[in-house]
């Protein structure tokens, strides 16, 4: 397997393949060779596209907008090439190579260690014959493999925006409230972890609690009065209303 790219996902994937005993990390291609010099696989990094050797699988781990041009610029044909994006269609890859997708559904930061063996990998191949090869490579680095088409992968990506990006923004709003009222945000951390952990046992619809669910109007009004600006109030009202709509729909 060779990796193309030098960002967070490229680095985590390269490390995972380098540590795997079933698959060999052949090369890592990056125009910015120096970005990767501190990593254990530094000796395998090349910045010469024509220096890419024949691999069974090439993984393009670059930003969504660069996938098309990187795939077009590859100086070979007929090989299996996959990208790692949740929202880009398989068809964005140049058809001169066999095409697929390996989308790791996780949030990667340079500062956080991730146990890659637990990261769900969403796989897609254009040719069913390639699915065996892609699955073998994926299983070498993760115990959590799912096959899905481009439409399903895009739906997962939207769901991930709700469950991760938007959730993180709510944490940021909570942290801001804590700062404004001079209470430490750390107090909320056990609650945040328990809320996230709970849904592995209880479907989130059943796990719902709080004033919106109870239609506790005095508390809702008291909360709105404490919120510092219209943006906070808008989000509070929108989510409270949505919780109440859902509860109604579930009861019916």
Only segment of 14-22, 103-111, 123-131, 132-140 that touches a second copy (CB under 8 A): 103-111
For residue 30 the two structure tokens come to: 């990056």
Q: Which is nearer to a second copy, 26 or 114 (CB)?
A: 114
Q: Which is nearer to a second copy, 37 or 238 (CB)?
A: 238
Residue 120, SS3 per DSSP: coil
Sign of the torsion formed by the C-alpha atoms of 89, 85, 105 and 122? positive
Give the C-alpha separation, 58 to 48, whole Å. Answer: 15
State which of residues 21, 50, 182, 252 lies at the interface with a second copy (CB under 8 A): 182
State which of residues 37, 51, 155, 215 lies at the interface with a second copy (CB under 8 A): 155
Does residue 22 belong to the site contacting a second copy (CB under 8 A)? Answer: no
Does residue 227 belong to the site contacting a second copy (CB under 8 A)? Answer: yes
Give the C-alpha separation, 84 to 72, whole Å. Answer: 16
For the chain, give the longest Cα–Cα distance. 68
Q: Which is nearer to a second copy, 90 or 114 (CB)?
A: 114
Q: Which is nearer to a second copy, 122 or 134 (CB)?
A: 122
Does residue 215 belong to the site contacting a second copy (CB under 8 A)? Answer: no
Restricted to residues 118-147, the positions that interact with a second copy (CB under 8 A) are 118-120, 122, 144, 146
- How far apart are CB 230 and a second copy at their closest, in Å? 10
Q: Are 106 and 163 in contact (CB under 8 A)?
A: no
The β-bridge relationship of strands 45-46 and 2-4 is unpaired
Q: Are 43 and 18 in contact (CB under 8 A)?
A: no
Does residue 91 belong to the site contacting a second copy (CB under 8 A)? Answer: no
Q: Which is nearer to a second copy, 45 or 138 (CB)?
A: 138
Does residue 93 belong to the site contacting a second copy (CB under 8 A)? Answer: no
Q: The tokens 């007929």 sit on which residue?
A: 78
Q: Are 57 and 73 in contact (CB under 8 A)?
A: no
């Amino acid at each position: 397997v060779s990796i193309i790219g030098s960002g967070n996902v490229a680095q985590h994937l390269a490390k995972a393949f380098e540590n795997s005993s079933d698959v060999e990390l052949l090369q890592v291609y990056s125009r910015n060779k120096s970005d990767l010099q501190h990593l254990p696989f530094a000796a395998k990094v090349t910045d010469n596209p024509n220096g890419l050797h024949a691999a069974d699988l090439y993984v393009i781990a670059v930003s969504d907008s660069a996938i098309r041009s990187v795939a077009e610029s590859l100086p070979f044909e007929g090989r299996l090439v996959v990208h790692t994006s949740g929202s880009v269609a398989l068809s964005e890859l140049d058809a001169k190579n066999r095409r697929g997708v390996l989308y790791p559904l996780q949030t990667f930061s340079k500062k956080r260690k991730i146990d890659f063996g637990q990261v769900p990998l969403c796989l897609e191949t254009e040719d069913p014959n390639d699915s065996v090869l892609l699955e073998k490579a994926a299983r070498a680095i993760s115990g959590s493999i799912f096959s899905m088409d481009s439409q399903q992968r895009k739906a997962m990506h939207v769901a991930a925006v709700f469950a991760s990006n938007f959730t993180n923004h709510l944490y940021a709003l909570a942290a801001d409230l804590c700062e404004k009222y001079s209470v430490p945000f750390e107090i909320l951390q056990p609650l945040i972890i328990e809320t996230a952990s709970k849904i592995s046992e209880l479907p989130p619809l059943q796990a719902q609690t709080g004033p919106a669910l109870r239609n506790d109007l005095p508390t809702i009004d008291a909360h709105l009065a404490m919120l510092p600006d219209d943006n906070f109030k808008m989000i509070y009202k929108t989510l409270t209303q949505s919780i109440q709509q859902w509860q109604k729909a579930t009861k019916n």
